[in-house]
Amino acid sequence: MTPTPTLARPGAALELTGVTRTFGSLTAVDDVSLRLPPGARHAVIGPNGAGKTTLLNLIAGTDRPDQGSIVLGGADVTRTSTARRSRAGIARSFQQPVVIGELTVLDNVVLAGWPHGRGGHAAWRRPGRLRARAEAAGRHLEAVGLAEAAHWPASRLSHGQRRMLDLAAALAGEPRLLLLDEPAAGLTDGDIGRLLGILDGLPEQVAVILVEHHVEVVAHFADTVTVLTAGRVLVTGPTGEALAHPSVRDAYRGTGAVLESAPGKGAPPPPADDGSRAAAPSAPDTRR
């Protein structure tokens, strides 16, 4: 059966309506609706197994919803391939950074930004296009603080640097919607401070969905937050209100997250080597 096309209200960068994904008897994402304007700074938080990564997979197209619709910039992409969505302007970073160790840092970014499809093959034969891509890749590396490492083999990078390279690679496609899956995971305090600076410098017109366990990163970066528990939206709204909501406190109680002390949006990055970070929620992982 052909799905009924969904019309987004004007102006939405992304509109999810009733998005649901089940795995057997488990509903990982349950009737999630969300509307983001261009340039949105939105975070999705929730305990382990809440459905955050599944939601990103559904938006990026690596997975398909059982119900609901996904509309990007007015176009229904619910059933379109990952490659088409990438061409339409969706880019993502991963929990485990995707880096090709044998290539240089610069080439990783050039490759990530290379056009998919037949146009991409033709582009290799045009030295001017290649040069322009390399210059753009250099700018993205500069933005994430990796300019000096541009000609290193990517295998030389530390974990924190790989995360930054993954981010530069995501930016290389000049996205209109950027999906960031736990960019602060495994970073040192100093690296998190740098990450916050980089996030602050993301192009204004790009809508961003940040999935993150570090509440202070969420509080610093996001204007709005959706809290998921067991696949359902518990709360969605302005960051301060969402984090202060009693149900959110209940959902996070006992997980170690320090919601009270999360700095407000616009607060400076935390000092390096301060060990008092708001901890990631650590509810039992229900992954099968």
Ligand X SMILES: Nc1ncnc2c1ncn2[C@@H]1O[C@H](COP(=O)(O)OP(=O)(O)OP(=O)(O)O)[C@@H](O)[C@H]1O
* Residues in touch with ligand X (CB under 6 A): 23, 26, 28, 46, 48-54, 285-288
Strands (E), 219-276: 224-229, 232-238
Residue with tokens 């009270």: 260
- Nearest CB to ligand X, comparing residues 92 and 133: 92
In the complex, least distance from residue 243 CB atom to ligand X, rounded to whole angstroms? 17
Distance CA(202)–CA(161), nearest Å, equals: 17
The Cβ of residue 31 has, within 10 Å, a number of other Cβ atoms equal to 14
The rounded Cα 282 to chain-centroid distance in angstroms is 20
* Type of residue numbered 247: S
Closest CA to 244 of 228, 220, 260: 260
Element (H, E) at 27: strand 26-36
**Can you tell me the distance from the alpha carbon of 188 to that of 196, in angstroms, rounded to the nearest whole number?**
12
Three-class DSSP category at 80: coil
Which is closer to ligand X, CB of 78 or CB of 229? Answer: 229
Q: Which two tokens stand for residue 75?
A: 């176009």
Query: Distance between CA atoms of 193 and 184, rounded to whole angstroms?
Result: 10
When the beta carbons of 56 and 172 are compared against ligand X, the nearer one is: 56
Q: Which is nearer to ligand X, 55 or 170 (CB)?
A: 55
Residue 53 or 86 having the CB closest to ligand X: 53
Other Cβ atoms within 10 Å of 136 Cβ, number: 16
**Is the CA virtual torsion 212, 271, 167, 139 positive or negative?**
positive
Closest to ligand X by CB, 26 or 134: 26
Q: For ligand X, give the closer residue by CB, 143 or 280.
A: 280
Whose CA is closest to 107, among 130, 84, 89? 130
C-alpha span between 46 and 57 (Å, rounded): 16
Helix (H) / strand (E) element for 104: namely none
Closest to ligand X by CB, 73 vs 212, is 212
- Fill in the amino acid letter for 114: W
